[in-house]
Amino acid sequence: MVKVTLKDGSKIEVEKGLSILEIAKKISEGLARNATCGEVNGKIKDLRHQINDDCELVIHTFNSEDLEGKKAYWHTTSHIMAQAVKRIFPNVKFAIGPAINDGFYYDFDVEKPFTDEDKAKIEEEMKKIIKEDIEIERFSLPKQEALELMEGQPYKQELIEELPEGEEISFYKQGDFTDLCAGPHLTSTGKVKSVKILTSSGAYWRGDEHNKMLQRIYAISFPKASELQEYLDLLEEAKKRDHKKLGKELELFMIAPEGPGFPFFLPKGMALRNVLEDFWRKIHIENGYQEIKTPVILNEELWHRSGHWDHYKENMYTTKIDNTDYGIKPMNCPGGMLVYKNGMHSYRELPIRAGELGLVHRHEKSGELNGLFRVRCFTQDDAHIFCLPSQIEQEVAGVIKLVDEVYSIFGFEYKVELSTRPDDSMGSDELWNMAEDALKKVLANLNIEYELNEGDGAFYGPKIDFHIKDCLGRSWQCGTVQLDFQMPERFDLNYIGEDGEKHRPVMLHRVIFGSIERFIGILIEHYAGAFPIWLSPVQVKVLPISEKQLEYCEGIVKELKQVGIRVELDERNEKIGYKIREAQLQKVPYMMVIGDKEKENDKITVRSRINGDLGDMNLDEFIEKIQNQIENKE
């Protein structure tokens, strides 16, 4: 018998050698029916995996809180799709077919790109394979036999060649289809219920543009048809909110072919951006930050000193000045170090909180560029906090509270993730353990629930990441606070302590928006372009019915501008109904309709984007109303 500790802490004794699925059946038939994979002592395992020792066991289903249950389900469906493609295109060469956060894809080497007709046939064949309820079997082979089995499949053979000698290589077989795979997978194809092919695109083998272009099919699957329909409805809503589409329609930004990955902000986009940056400055001043600005280009030696040259060079742009190599900054941190080193500091000055809206450049592959979400130049709302070791916890707590305050204003919920030491880290075990323990303690003291993300910290220190959730339930990683004992060492940063001796400060890196550009993209989709009034590029549109009211309207516009309200006058010779529809399409919060009656009575008639006709009122009354809404960030 072996003792198994379940997720809720309860313990059961089971016969040695039982599979995870068999243990699930002992717990409940419902759990066994819905199980997709298991987690044994923190490691994801197939349902077929046998338990031979005492262990901790989590049994995942499609609806488990994390993605592991879904990924096993989707990975199985990717094999069903590959089998369907093989039935229709017998000469296909298979690459990889992983589960991702929203479904799965599979890369195929075929003679020509898949057409819509091809994808419809593949989807129908997938449904047949599901209906056949083919048993899925797992087996392993030595390396040479694995290579022989995958004869005629060059991509699979390339992957096998890279595996260590002597290692047993696992495969999954379902009927006439066998695939190289580590798993986990469901027990039969019939466990999958509703499937949908979403889209296809070209994709280079291993993401390398020097390799052959393959054809990638993206798809999704769910245990219930109703869940699939909900997801498809969500996709349709996301298309309507696409920030690239709305950015063009609302004249916020553009990407020119002369600068792929380098966004241009148009006047209305700059109005939105300036509001965000002004808000950032105001809230940071209130929280004791000073603002700095550091250069975009600094010499190569600096980037060696910071460690970026060794850890990040492939993402950096470089140039030569006076026969010396320079790097265009991918991060603001080293410049912040030099600002701190500009003078001697006393312990009495710490903490020093230095904030910067710093423009950085990073080389992204052309195929990965995506509107404002993935660009080659962007502005990070960085801050670097230099503090005493005794101040670490209060400073991290201060950052977390500031993040909470900012996100709540935009209506974002968020989750917290703690990332620990990666493989390519700098520094001693002692410093890393101290840093990780400090972050855990702060989160515990603030009663903040968090997920542990092992091995995903920055190369110089552990970090807390903040993942905001938009109105469609999508998650975006924006804010972060990173604890760093390495940079102060590398840059020989000091302060004079109470004892009159030099000591190392501790450094915190942190952002809240993350990237201004990306955050604006998120806001566009979150609000579907209908920004709250304090963010709206145009807050009021003044609409004269005819030219006779133009002079009166110009006076209104002047008065609104004088009190800081962003206003436009539509003086086109168009019917008023057309002007109103145009203003609504531009998602302007308030419209003023001005005719002879309003002019004669010195009034305005107001229409709200949300509530429709608000009737007539005095201009002063309207100004007070809108200023209150802007001030309160309604």
Catalytic residues: 333, 362, 380, 382, 384, 463, 509
Q: Which residues contact 61 (CB under 8 A, 6 or more apart)?
A: 31, 34, 35, 36, 69
DSSP 528: T
CA distance 553 to 544: 7
**What span, in angstroms and rounded, lies between the C-alpha atoms of 115 and 95?**
19
CA end-to-end span of the chain: 62
Q: What is the dihedral of CA 277, 278, 284, 287, to 10 degrees?
A: -150
> To the nearest 5 percent, what fractions of the chain are helix, strand and coil?
40, 30, 30
Task: Report the DSSP pairing between strands 590-594 and 540-544.
Answer: parallel
Closest CA to 72 of 190, 155, 227, 187: 187
Say how far apart CA 568 and CA 551 lie, in whole Å: 14
Neighbours of 353 (CB within 10 A): 20
Question: Within 13 Å of residue 611, how many CA atoms lie on the same side as its CB?
Answer: 4
- The answer to whether 522 and 374 are in contact (CB under 8 A) is no
Helices of type H across 499-549: 516-526
Question: Which whole-number Å values give the CA distances from 616 to 145, 392, 597, 606, 610, in the listed order?
Answer: 83, 56, 10, 6, 17
What stretch of H or E contains 445? helix 429-445
Residue 121: strand, helix, or coil? helix
The candidate with the shortest Cα–Cα distance to 522, out of 378, 358, 363, is 378
The Cα angle at residue 127 between residues 124 and 131, in degrees rounded to 5: 140
DSSP code per residue over 570-620: --SS--HHHHHHHHHHTT-SEEEEE-HHHHHHT-EEEEETTTEEEEEE-HH
Is omega for the bond preceding 389 within 30 degrees of 0, making it cis?
no
